[in-house]
Amino acid sequence: MIIAAVITAAGSGTRLAASSPDGAVPKALVTLDGRALVAWAVTRIADVAERIVVTAPALHVDAVQSALADAGVDALVVPGGDTRQASVAAGLSALALDDDDIVLIHDAARAFQEPAVAAATIEAVRAGADGAIPVLPVVDTLIGAPGPDGVIGEPVDREGIRAVQTPQTFRAAVAIDAHRRGAAPGAPPATDDATLARALGHRIVAVAGHEWGFKVTRPSDLPLAHHIARSLSGDGA
Q: Answer yes or no whether residue 55 interacts with ligand C5P by CB under 6 A.
A: yes
Give the CA angle between residues 206, 212, 216 to the nearest 5°. 105
Stretch that binds ligand C5P, among 46-54, 63-71, 82-90, 229-237 (CB under 6 A): 82-90
- Among 94, 109, 118, 225, the residue binding ligand C5P under the rule CB under 6 A is 109
Among 81, 114, 136, 206, interactor with ligand C5P by CB under 6 A: 81
Q: Which of 35, 51, 60, 84 binds ligand C5P (CB under 6 A)?
A: 84
Burial of 13 (0-12, 13-18, 19+ CB in 10 A): buried
Q: Which residue from 10, 42, 78, 207 is in contact with ligand C5P, where contact means CB under 6 A?
A: 10
Where is 52: in which H helix or E strand?
Answer: strand 51-56
Binds ligand C5P (CB under 6 A): choice among 82, 140, 154, 235:
82
Strands 131-137 and 204-208: parallel
- Between the two ends of the chain, the Cα-to-Cα distance in Å is 27
Residue closer to ligand C5P by CB (options 55, 165) is: 55
Residues 6+ apart with CB under 8 A from 32: 40, 111, 222, 225, 226, 229
Give the binding range for ligand C5P (CB under 6 A) out of 17-25, 107-115, 150-158, 197-205: 107-115
The answer to whether the CB of 40 falls within 8 A of the CB of 34 is: no
We find the least distance from the C-beta atom of residue 82 to ligand C5P, in angstroms, to be 6
Q: Which residues of this chain interact with ligand C5P, rule CB under 6 A?
A: 8-11, 55, 80-84, 87, 107-109, 215, 217
